[in-house]
Amino acid sequence: MTDNEWHERGDALERVFTFADFSAAFAFLSRVAMLAEKMDHHPEIHNVWNKVTLRLTTHDAGNTVTERDRRLAAAIDRLVA
Amino acid sequence: MTDNEWHERGDALERVFTFADFSAAFAFLSRVAMLAEKMDHHPEIHNVWNKVTLRLTTHDAGNTVTERDRRLAAAIDRLVA
Amino acid sequence: MTDNEWHERGDALERVFTFADFSAAFAFLSRVAMLAEKMDHHPEIHNVWNKVTLRLTTHDAGNTVTERDRRLAAAIDRLVA
Amino acid sequence: MTDNEWHERGDALERVFTFADFSAAFAFLSRVAMLAEKMDHHPEIHNVWNKVTLRLTTHDAGNTVTERDRRLAAAIDRLVA
């Protein structure tokens, strides 16, 4: 379902997720959206067909990776475990 | 966008929402879903094409209408204000 | 993921789906919504927390079960296979 | 609701949409997702909080802007009209 792990790229955690098709990719995004609202922390989302790239950074902390990003990353990982 | 108000029916708050079509109705439901996860309180959802009926009750309080239902109703109302 | 099969109840095909939680149930509904728009045929949707009940009937055919309902049911089944 | 128009940038039609918050932005994306599945033509999606950028191009036509992109753009415009 997913092709790799979170990487720290510049000032963000980034991970690419690959699904069977757009429908499965968007269903995943709908779960990410619910998590983001629940945790009041929102990823940058990029989607092309069956691929989703998420970037997590904390704007309020000067665009650095903080504990809030790590908690959101862990919660997202549980969706695709 | 909406045709009426919340009514207390039996042990729940209930309101019917009418939209232009299914797409608009489901977009509203996606916002209700995000609110429900954020507030950790979930409505009973019923949808037929452009109509959505939501029922709010608190199972943990023996299926009565509580402050949690009233807060969720108010937040849902803000989506269609 | 799913607890049973489609049953013909009255004038509709009906199936109950049970998921781990609300988030998984709503992600499934988002896929059903995309299918419904694609096939231009929409189920009656009922959701309580982790349970989703779908009812398929063809209004244009006097609320009977038609080939359109059977095609939508088969497409929905592929989502949870 | 929207801050500008479609622009042809390189080999794609691109438009930025700005909403009140993430919830409104994601509800819009859920409608774009349903349209994309219905029309079997999918935009490249980028989202940061209340901003959505959509890019439309036809991969099968060597990444050029075709009539399929223009039809999808027009259908998306109707969602925010």
* Close Cβ partners of B36 (under 8 Å, ≥ 6 residues apart): B42, B43, B72, C22
What would the pLDDT profile of C52-71 be if each residue is shown by its tens digit? 999 999 988 888 999 999 99
CB contact under 8 A, C44 and B42: no
Nearest-by-CA chain B residue for C49: B42
* Backbone region of residue A10 per phi and psi (left: phi > 0; alpha: psi in -120 to 50; beta: other values): left
Q: Which of C48, C50, C60, C63 to mutate to test the interface with B (most CBs of B within 10 A)?
A: C48
CB contact under 8 A, D35 and C37: yes
What is the predicted pLDDT for the residue at D22?
98
Q: How confident is the model at residue B3 (pLDDT cuts 50, 70, 90)?
A: low
Residue C7 pLDDT greater than 80, yes or no: yes
CB A36 within 8 A of CB A58: no
Tell me how close the Cα of D23 comes to any Cα of chain B, in angstroms.
6
What is the predicted pLDDT for the residue at C62?
84
CB contact under 8 A, A22 and D42: yes
- When the candidates are 3.40.190.10, 3.30.1360.20, 1.10.3720.10, 3.90.230.10, the CATH number that belongs to D7-80 is 3.30.1360.20
Q: How confident is the model at residue D9 (pLDDT cuts 50, 70, 90)?
A: confident
CB C45 within 8 A of CB B47: yes
What would the pLDDT profile of A52-65 be if each residue is shown by its tens digit? 999 999 988 788 99
What ipTM was assigned to the predicted interfaces of this complex?
0.93
Q: How confident is the model at residue C3 (pLDDT cuts 50, 70, 90)?
A: low
Tell me how close the Cα of A29 comes to any Cα of chain C, in angstroms.
9
Mean pLDDT of D41-69: 94
What would the pLDDT profile of B4-61 be if each residue is shown by its tens digit? 799 998 799 999 999 999 999 999 999 999 999 999 999 999 999 999 999 999 988 7
CB D23 within 8 A of CB D1: no
Residue D62 pLDDT greater than 90, yes or no: no
What would the pLDDT profile of A62-77 be if each residue is shown by its tens digit? 889 999 999 999 999 9
The overall average pLDDT reported for chain A is 93
Q: How confident is the model at residue B1 (pLDDT cuts 50, 70, 90)?
A: very low
Which chains form contacts with chain D, at 3 or more CB pairs under 8 Å?
Answer: A, B, C
Nearest to A47 among D23, D30, D45 (CB): D45
Mean pLDDT of D47-69: 93
H helix or E strand, kind and range, residue C26: helix C22-39
Q: Is B54 helix (H, G, I), strand (E, B) or coil?
A: strand
Which chains form contacts with chain A, at 3 or more CB pairs under 8 Å?
Answer: B, C, D
Residue A3 pLDDT greater than 70, yes or no: no
CB contact under 8 A, A30 and B35: no
**Rounded Cα gap, residues D42 and D27, in angstroms:** 17
- Give the CA distances from residue A36 to residues A72, A73, D8, D53, in Å, rounded to whole numbers and listed in that order: 8, 10, 32, 19
What would the pLDDT profile of C8-61 be if each residue is shown by its tens digit? 987 999 999 999 999 999 999 999 999 999 999 999 999 999 999 999 999 888
**Which residues numbered 8-67 in A keep a CB inside 8 Å of some CB on B?**
30, 33-35, 37-38, 40
For B39, other C-beta atoms within 10 Å of its C-beta total: 14
* Backbone region of residue D33 per phi and psi (left: phi > 0; alpha: psi in -120 to 50; beta: other values): alpha
Residue A8 pLDDT greater than 60, yes or no: yes
By C-alpha distance, which of D47, B27, D38 is closest to A36?
A: D47
For the domain spanning B7-79, the CATH number is 3.30.1360.20
Chain A residues within an 8 Å CB radius of D33: 22, 26
Q: Which of C22, C28, C31, C78 to mutate to test the interface with A (most CBs of A within 10 A)?
A: C31
Q: How confident is the model at residue A81 (pLDDT cuts 50, 70, 90)?
A: confident
Tell me chain A's radius of gyration from C-alpha atoms. Answer: 12
